[in-house]
Structure 1
Amino acid sequence: MSSLSAGASASPFEQPKAVFAVAFACVVSFMGIGLVDPILPAISHELNATPSQVTLLFTSYLVVTAVAMLITGWVSSRIGAKYTLMAGLVLIVVFSALAGTSPSIASIVGFRAGWGVGNALFIATSLAVIVASASGGFAGAIILYEAALGLGIAVGPLLGGLLGNVSWRGPFFGVSALMAVALIATVVLVEPTPRPERRTGLLDPLRALRHRGLLTMSLTALCYNWAFFTVLGYAPFPMGLGAVQLGFVFTGWGLLVALFSVFGAPWLQRRFGIARTLYANLALFAVTVLVIAIWTTHPPVLVTAVIVAGVFIGVNNTVTTQAVMTVSPVERPVASAAYGFVRFIGGGLAPFAAGKLVEHTNIHVPFFIGAGTLLLGIAILSTAHRYLAEAERVQAGDVRAAEEPAIAST
């Protein structure tokens, strides 16, 4: 049984307007991850690109996001969180629109890289802003953030499929328009936050990885993201479905991500604790990816397994993010940047590696490797028991702190 209290705490959905403004922008930002999934085959066909070339849309976006994570703290500690959010949103608006006007796969890949810089500035800072501004304690803030992630991942593929059914350019213009709305909401509703007393250095996130607990959790997340983005980035090709059908498949997947991020993960963590929840979750995800590897050419099995994978992705996102933000002694924005840097490297390289592996071997191999990386993640996680126990103690203290004002007012 986890040391986390199972008692009632403030609802993660009772928040100031500014938190919902940032959460809305998070929803749209995370749409960008799954938005291109339904149009990958269409882009491949329309621009005469190989699947491995098309998967560079994920690789350029996520690898650049990973590297740019290293500068997010440096930027936000100098211009403030609100203006960092605004800068990230502006970059996403501009580069997603430019991607929609692109004449070639190479230019789309380049503009997705620029999009990734904006994404890094926004993602790392938005998590810090929500944690700092949300009511109901740290755990409630993380649940709200993961709810935004899950909703964005769920809606993104459906929107991508519907707009992509008209033109593969449509989803890019759609993100640009929605992010413009998010930018306006951020400008109007989010108040400038005080700048930290100490400015973050460019190397602080890398120095933070010297902490064994943070490094271990980050490497585990790298392994997990390798499997996650192998499925997300390459599974659409063997499904043989149209844009709208692919949109519905990944919307089903995203809905499970959202539901288990918000409801399943907290219950499992209270019932079994962080370590056992993560071990079981990674093992079940490995089994699911193994099913995808064996039955890759059987669309009904492939579609079902991809949708079911949303359960394990949702649980992992919430439990791991909470643990990462409490496992090390560094400031939470620095921990977020360090963690994002490592995990997005795995997510970015996996789709491109999958395409190349298929070209040189067969379509099953990338998914077998994805299942193997999850087992490697379990092995890495097993070296961090002491740090996971400490994260539980910190989170339990946060829950008690959030409950005390409610108890005092009754």
Structure 2
Amino acid sequence: MSGHGDGANILKQPKAVWAVAFACVIAFMGIGLVDPILPSIAADLDATPTQTELLFTSYLLVTGAMMFFTSWVSSRIGARWTLLIGLALIVVFAAFAGFSGSVETIIGFRAGWGLGNALFISTALATIVGAAAGGSGAAIILYEAALGVGIAIGPLLGGLLGTISWRGPFFGTAALMAIALIAILVMLPGDAKAQRPAPAKLSAPFRALRIPALAVLALVALFYNIGFFVLLAYTPFPLGFDAIGLGLTFCAWGISLAVTSVWVAPILTARMRRTTVIATVLPLLAVDLVLAGVFVSSPAALVAAVIVGGLLLGVMNTVLTESVMEATDLPRGVASSAYSGVRFLGAAVAPPLATVLAYLGSAGLPYFVGALSLALAAGLVLAFRGKLARIDGDVEPPLVEAEAIGLGDAA
């Protein structure tokens, strides 16, 4: 049903695929990197929790906004140059963030980091899909595995380096991204002009959202990401752990996410329709957040909710990514730009919203609102299941294999 490759194909990949996958791991580390050092930044720079949460918001807001334009960029300069420019921007702005002296300055540099992140992440998926052995299903699993490993290592590295200084994780990311940039430069061949798709129109991602299936999936992802980032970005504050404790907690979360994204999601989509998987997992996530809100004063209960949440989020990430790839006949760059632009905007709203809700209400209120957002996402899937019939099909769209020849010049 889902077109997955076998396990052997996932591991037997060209060097270029492994180079991009390694860079993906480092890029995704940036998502959870600041989690363990949020309390330290708040204390050392005399910042409020809401101000520190804006480290997520500036990063994700710029990432989301730029996602609408990445297909326009990559279709003109090619995947390789888009990846390299994105990595270079992350190196520069991560280093600048480490040298910052105020939370406002870090927020600004995290926005620049988000620009590089948008260029890199949107192009990386298509590069892996285009160059990987084993078909689009195997490539997506490899990409989600990189996401899971990166999200797992990010908080752990952030916690370890954060014990020295809150600046450490930023400098560490800059150094690792520089290594990833060199790996891409050496191992990923240049784009063949004959293989490039026609340059995408600037308006293409916005017009793509008129397609019902893509619009529904984008809205589902928007509400899903609100719940996702309430759990990820807000939880360090009620947990109250030090940098190492937070790093270990979210490392376990990331490992859980990686395991289910690589091994559990393919099993589920081989036996059930994608819409059934999504409509089942979203309510389970909502229940997990409700329990986190009810037992917010218990660190043990919160840690359990974080880890269980990781298991469910891993399934959702893989199935949603696959669904978008199968939803239309549009070039991958256009579909991914439209979808990602909307979903990252939802992620950008959640972190400061959570701390404001906690300030105005109670420590558990952000989790309840996150659960409501997940319930709305599930309701959209059920209400518009007919519009999503294509993602439940047994046969891949005929353009999928043809587009893969383009070596990832789309997102």
Aligned to 1:211: 211
* Cα drift, residue 330 of structure 1: 1.0
Asked whether the 8 Å contact 1:226–1:347 carries over to 2, the reply is yes
Aligned to 1:39: 37
- 1:192 counterpart (187, 190, 193): 190
* Cα drift, residue 56 of structure 1: 0.2
Asked whether the 8 Å contact 1:30–1:153 carries over to 2, the reply is yes
Aligned in 2, Cα 1:53/1:303: closer, same or farther, shift over 3 Å?
A: same
Asked whether the 8 Å contact 2:5–2:138 carries over to 1, the reply is no
AA partner of residue 128 (structure 2): I
Aligned in 2, Cα 1:158/1:6: closer, same or farther, shift over 3 Å?
A: closer
Aligned to 1:102: 100
AA partner of residue 339 (structure 1): Y
AA partner of residue 165 (structure 1): T
Aligned in 2, Cα 1:188/1:251: closer, same or farther, shift over 3 Å?
A: same
* Cα drift, residue 389 of structure 1: 3.1
Q: Is the partner of 2:11 in helix, strand or coil?
A: coil
Cα deviation code 1:203-241 (max 9, x no counterpart):
211111110000101100111100000111110001010
Q: Please, what TM-score do these two structures have when normalized by structure 2?
A: 0.94
AA partner of residue 269 (structure 1): T
How far apart are the structure 1 equivalents of 2:74 and 2:366?
A: 38
How far apart are the structure 2 equivalents of 1:395 and 1:48?
A: 56
Aligned in 2, Cα 1:35/1:197: closer, same or farther, shift over 3 Å?
A: closer
Cα deviation code 1:153-206 (max 9, x no counterpart):
011110000000110000000000000000000000001223534111222111
Question: Percent identity at matched positions?
Answer: 51
Aligned to 1:263: 263
Q: Is the partner of 2:125 in helix, strand or coil?
A: helix
Q: Given the alignment of the two structures, is residue 350 of structure 1 paired with residue 350 of structure 2, yes or no?
A: yes
- 1:118 counterpart (116, 119, 143): 116
Cα deviation code 1:90-148 (max 9, x no counterpart):
00000000000000000000000000000000000001111111110010010000000
AA partner of residue 47 (structure 1): L
How far apart are the structure 2 equivalents of 1:242 and 1:282?
A: 31
How far apart are the structure 1 equivalents of 2:74 and 2:276?
A: 36
How far apart are the structure 2 equivalents of 1:15 and 1:199?
A: 28
Aligned in 2, Cα 1:273/1:49: closer, same or farther, shift over 3 Å?
A: same
How far apart are the structure 1 equivalents of 2:6 and 2:347?
A: 36
* Cα drift, residue 43 of structure 1: 0.5
* Cα drift, residue 356 of structure 1: 1.4
Aligned to 1:254: 254
Q: Please, what TM-score do these two structures have when normalized by structure 1?
A: 0.94
CA RMSD of aligned residues (A): 1.8
Asked whether the 8 Å contact 2:4–2:138 carries over to 1, the reply is no
Task: Compare 288-297 and 253-262 and name the one that shifted more.
Answer: 288-297
Q: Is the partner of 2:9 in helix, strand or coil?
A: coil
Aligned to 2:409: none
* Cα drift, residue 5 of structure 1: 6.7
* Cα drift, residue 401 of structure 1: 8.2
Aligned in 2, Cα 1:7/1:361: closer, same or farther, shift over 3 Å?
A: closer
Aligned residue pairs, count: 399
Aligned to 2:307: 307
* Cα drift, residue 385 of structure 1: 2.3
Aligned to 1:175: 173
* Cα drift, residue 20 of structure 1: 0.5
How far apart are the structure 1 equivalents of 2:197 and 2:372?
A: 44
Within 5 Å, which residues of 2 pair with 1:43-54?
43-54=41-52
Q: Which runs of 5+ in 2 are unaligned?
A: 403-411
* Cα drift, residue 387 of structure 1: 4.4
AA partner of residue 339 (structure 2): Y
Q: Which runs of 5+ in 1 are unaligned?
A: 403-410
Aligned to 1:147: 145
Asked whether the 8 Å contact 1:326–1:394 carries over to 2, the reply is no
Aligned in 2, Cα 1:7/1:165: closer, same or farther, shift over 3 Å?
A: closer
How far apart are the structure 2 equivalents of 1:360 and 1:318?
A: 35
How far apart are the structure 2 equivalents of 1:92 and 1:4?
A: 34
Cα deviation code 1:385-405 (max 9, x no counterpart):
23443223265578x989xxx
Task: Compare 246-255 and 190-199 and name the one that shifted more.
Answer: 190-199
How far apart are the structure 1 equivalents of 2:96 and 2:363?
A: 32
* Cα drift, residue 10 of structure 1: 5.3
AA partner of residue 369 (structure 2): I
